[in-house]
Each structure stands twice: as structure tokens, then as C-alpha cells.
Amino acid sequence: MRLGGKTPAAERRQWPRLPLAIPVFVRTQSETEKEFLEFATALNVSAGGMLVAVRRSIPSTSHVSLEIPSAPLAVLTSLPRVARNLRARVLRMQHGEGYNLIALKFSRPLVNSRVTGKRVRRKLASSV
């Protein structure tokens, strides 16, 4: 599909994006070392990053801390451990009307390895 007469670029993402609206606290520091905390919404999430709608303008290449709020049940030891605090870097920002969209790349992916479309078949044992 062509939008605006441009040929689509090859997909460069390592992980698929999930269109989820997730509340998130975004913490960043200004150049004057003043810390800002904003309640925002993640619009889509992948293992490598997320797209977040914020009110404040955040410069590209800024580092941010993200905290995903959760119910008190998450502190129970019987539940699996989940990531709630994440570090990320701003890749780009797009200004909107009353908000800004920031594309973030996590410092560490949320999964251990890349997901690919192919399964690798391995020989388990020799037939001899």
C-alpha cells in the first residue's frame, strides 16, 4: 500500500507491536536537571519499545523512566514476576494537537531473544 505517493519501507522492527492502551507514568529530566513526572498512555507496545502519548515535549535521544501502575495484587509472591519499571530512550517525537507522540526504545528488550517467523528444526539424535 502506498501512502502519499511514497513506497513503503521495509519493516525494520524486530518484534510485533500490540495495539494496547496502557496507563504509564513517564519520568524525565530537563536540561536544567529538573525532574518531570507525567501520567500518560502507551498506545502500542512491543518487546523492544512503545509509542506513548504525552502532553510535554520531550527532546529526541532523552532518557526516560517508565512505570506501569498495577493493582496491589501484583505484590503477591504466587503471581509471576512482571516488568513494571522500564528505562527507555526517545527515538522520535511527533507533535499533535494537545499531545505529543513519542517513540521509545527500551534499554533492554522485554524478551530474551528475537521472534522470527521461521522455526528452526534441529536434529535431536543420530539415527546410527
Q: Measuring CA to CA, which residue among 42, 37, 8 is closest to residue 24?
A: 42
Return the pLDDT at 120. 45
Q: Give 54-102 pLDDT, tens digit per residue.
A: 999 888 888 999 999 877 765 566 666 666 899 999 999 999 889 999 9
Return the pLDDT at 81. 65
Sequence ranges of the domains in the chain: 22-70+82-106
Of all residues in the chain, the percent with pLDDT exceeding 90 is 45
- Asked whether the beta carbons of 92 and 61 are under 8 A apart, the reply is no
In Å, how far are 59, 66, 69, 80, 83 from 75, measured between CA atoms?
34, 18, 12, 10, 12
- Using a cut of 0.75, tell me whether the model's pTM lies above it: no
Find residue 3's DSSP bridge partners. Answer: 6
Find residue 66's DSSP bridge partners. Answer: 26, 86
- What topology does CATH give the domain 22-70+82-106? Thrombin, subunit H (2.40.10)
Return the pLDDT at 54. 96
User: Of 77 and 31, which is predicted with more confidence?
Assistant: 31
User: Of 82 and 53, which is predicted with more confidence?
Assistant: 53
Instruction: Give the pLDDT band of residue 53 (cuts 50, 70, 90).
Output: very high
